[in-house]
């Protein structure tokens, strides 16, 4: 059981740069979720895929954010023109059903 894998674990970038994160879900899970967690807060929903279809996007996902899941397997989350407020832990989760997701270890983004 390889679990949900996220890469990289940590990313430091300069303000204005673009960054891309990758998530590999558990292989038989057709649902994939992205959440963002800032210090002292619970995870906040960003977006959700069922197979390759992006079914829901949060208002938190500004036009600088884009997520893809091209073949219904791994997913990428790209942030363009990063801002300091984008500094957070970005969590990916997957599930075979709508209930009880399995989370990855997250990607910690620091924008300097």
Partner 1 sequence: GQQLNQSPQSMFIQEGEDVSMNCTSSSIFNTWLWYKQDPGEGPVLLIALYKAGELTSNGRLTAQFGITRKDSFLNISASIPSDVGIYFCAGQARDDKIIFGKGTRLHILP
Total of residues contacting partner 1 (CB under 8 A): 22
Q: How far apart are CA 94 and CA 31, in angstroms?
A: 5
- If one asks whether residue 42 binds partner 1 (CB under 8 A), the answer comes out as yes
Interface with partner 1, residue 56, by CB under 8 A:
yes
Taking alpha carbons only, the member of 32, 61, 28 closest to residue 44 is 61
Residue 45 binds partner 1 (CB under 8 A) = yes
Which residues would be at the binding site for partner 1 (CB under 8 A)? 4, 33, 40-45, 48, 56, 91, 93, 98-106, 108
């Amino acid at each position: 059981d390889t679990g949900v894998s996220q890469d990289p674990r940590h990313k430091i970038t300069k303000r204005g740069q673009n960054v891309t994160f990758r998530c590999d879900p558990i292989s038989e899970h057709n649902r994939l979720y992205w959440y963002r967690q800032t210090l002292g807060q619970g995870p906040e929903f960003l977006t959700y895929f069922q197979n390759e279809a992006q079914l829901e996007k949060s208002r938190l996902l500004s036009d600088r954010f884009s997520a893809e899941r091209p073949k219904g397997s791994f997913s990428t989350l790209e942030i363009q023109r990063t801002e300091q407020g984008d500094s957070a832990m970005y969590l990916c989760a997957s599930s075979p059903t709508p209930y009880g997701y399995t989370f990855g270890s997250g990607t910690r983004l620091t924008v300097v």
